[in-house]
Structure 1
Amino acid sequence: MKNLKKSVALTLILAFIGFSINAQTKSSFGFKGGLNYSANGDYIESTNVNAKNPDRNIGYHVGVFGKIGDKLYLRPELIYTATKSDYSSNEFSVKKIDAPVLVGLRVIGPLSVFAGPSFQYILDTEFDGITIDNVKDDFSIGLNFGVGINFRKIGIDLRYERGFSDNEATFINTNLVTVGESRIDTRPDQLILSLSIGL
């Protein structure tokens, strides 16, 4: 896992340097925010082998972005994200820092398409009022891809995000008659609608 992190970090640094050297003169930075329509993975109770699928819920995100280039561009972002998933009468919430590194292409006029990895660091998880500290990996990697429209300094984009691998949170469920360890897959699966304002 450490070698993977080092390889990914080195790749991103080299890509950033390459884009900085070859980028066209247009570059910008600014603020962004919006809504997430998301769900996490399955919830498995300690006494039940059947997994419960989550219902989607609405969360939010706020952060900053940079953009280097014009027709072909690199767009790194740093975002605080809060999401929720509903499991029957219980609610699972996640607060995390996302760092997507997107490569985009302006297709025609203000319309562009983009894709890239999203590096995620989980700050806090809570299930039905219970704070969960035992998450397998606080750091994980997902994929973002989507479309955006930019009108001068105002941008709107819609993207899909999915985690690459299972990342379970485990906890002792004391609500059951028989106390035991339950687990939830914290991997995100979400649609993200964002409004960005360049400075």
Structure 2
Amino acid sequence: MNNLKRLIITSAFFALVGFTASGQNPISYGIKGGLNYGATGEYFDALSFNRSNPDKNIGYHIGVFGKMGDEIYLRPEFVYTAIKSDYDNAEFNVRKIDVPILVGVQLIDHLSVFAGPAMQFILDSDFRGIDIDNIRHKFRVGFNFGIAVNFDTIGIDLRYERGFDNNEASFKEENQGRYSRIDTKPNHLILSVSLTL
């Protein structure tokens, strides 16, 4: 509940800043998609007591966005994201909904920087073919920051996404009496192309 209160306060603050900055500037919206490169957190094997960090891998995302303001702007997004991490020849797949609320500042023509909180809701995940549905917190808050280049209706942005804290899931693998654990916290570089409609 405390996390939810912090999320509401933080989101309200960024929205207020963005709306104040946007004034009478036009509102636009569009679609976006692209690639993610990164990994989730540590995996603990309860059978061998080994801990391992994943190899980074490529995922994808697709979604919609709105934009209010010009030189200083508010940009909320609603994005479906699929990420994949490799742990010793085993894949950990996560599908989630991301809702970043970003505030950006235009530095020079076509170039801006942005940052803001990103709400994350995990839809489902699996590891070695095992569905993992007991993630400690399916709803979490992370942080995005990055740089964007916009030309009329086409935009390209590169951002870094990081979860604030660990978010472990525990599960029992085949022929194993103990529960292994895996951390679902994202740590990614995200490259997006957007089209303003």
Q: TM-score range by the shorter chain?
A: over 0.9
TM-score (norm 1): 0.93
2:18 pairs with 1:12: no
Q: Which residue number corresponds to residue 65 of structure 1? A: 65
Contact 2:158 2:190 survives alignment (8 Å): yes
- Gaps in structure 1 of 5+ consecutive residues: none
Q: Which residue number corresponds to residue 135 of structure 1? A: 135
2:19 pairs with 1:44: no
Q: Which residue number corresponds to residue 179 of structure 1? A: 177
TM-score (norm 2): 0.94
Offset at residue 14 of structure 1 (A): 5.0
What is the rounded CA distance, in whole Å, between the counterparts of 1:143 and 1:18 in structure 2?
A: 17
Q: Which residue number corresponds to residue 100 of structure 2? A: 100
Offset at residue 22 of structure 1 (A): 4.2
Q: Runs (4+) of structure 1 moved beyond 4 Å?
A: none
Contact 1:73 1:105 survives alignment (8 Å): yes
DSSP 3-state at the match of 2:15: helix
| Residue deviations 1:7-55 (CA, integer Å, cap 9, x gap) | 4214423542453354141321100000011200011000233311101
Q: Any residues of structure 2 matched to 1:139-158 within 5 Å, and which?
A: 139-158=139-158
- Gaps in structure 2 of 5+ consecutive residues: none
Contact 1:27 1:70 survives alignment (8 Å): no
Contact 1:90 1:128 survives alignment (8 Å): yes
- Report the residue type matching 1:112 in the other structure: S
| Residue deviations 1:146-187 (CA, integer Å, cap 9, x gap) | 111000111000001111000001100115xx4310010000
DSSP 3-state at the match of 2:56: strand
What is the rounded CA distance, in whole Å, between the counterparts of 2:13 and 2:44 in structure 1?
A: 41
- Over the matched positions of the two proteins, sequence identity in percent amounts to 54
Contact 1:174 1:180 survives alignment (8 Å): no
Contact 1:65 1:76 survives alignment (8 Å): yes
Q: Which residue number corresponds to residue 121 of structure 2? A: 121
- Report the residue type matching 1:13 in the other structure: A
- Report the residue type matching 2:164 in the other structure: F
Equivalenced residue count is: 196
Offset at residue 197 of structure 1 (A): 0.4
- Report the residue type matching 1:8 in the other structure: L
Contact 1:30 1:197 survives alignment (8 Å): yes
Offset at residue 61 of structure 1 (A): 0.3
What is the rounded CA distance, in whole Å, between the counterparts of 2:54 and 2:109 in structure 1?
A: 39
| Residue deviations 1:34-90 (CA, integer Å, cap 9, x gap) | 001120001100023331110111111000001111011111100000000000110
What is the rounded CA distance, in whole Å, between the counterparts of 1:173 and 1:43 in structure 2?
A: 13
Offset at residue 3 of structure 1 (A): 2.9
- Report the residue type matching 2:165 in the other structure: S
What is the rounded CA distance, in whole Å, between the counterparts of 2:14 and 2:104 in structure 1?
A: 13
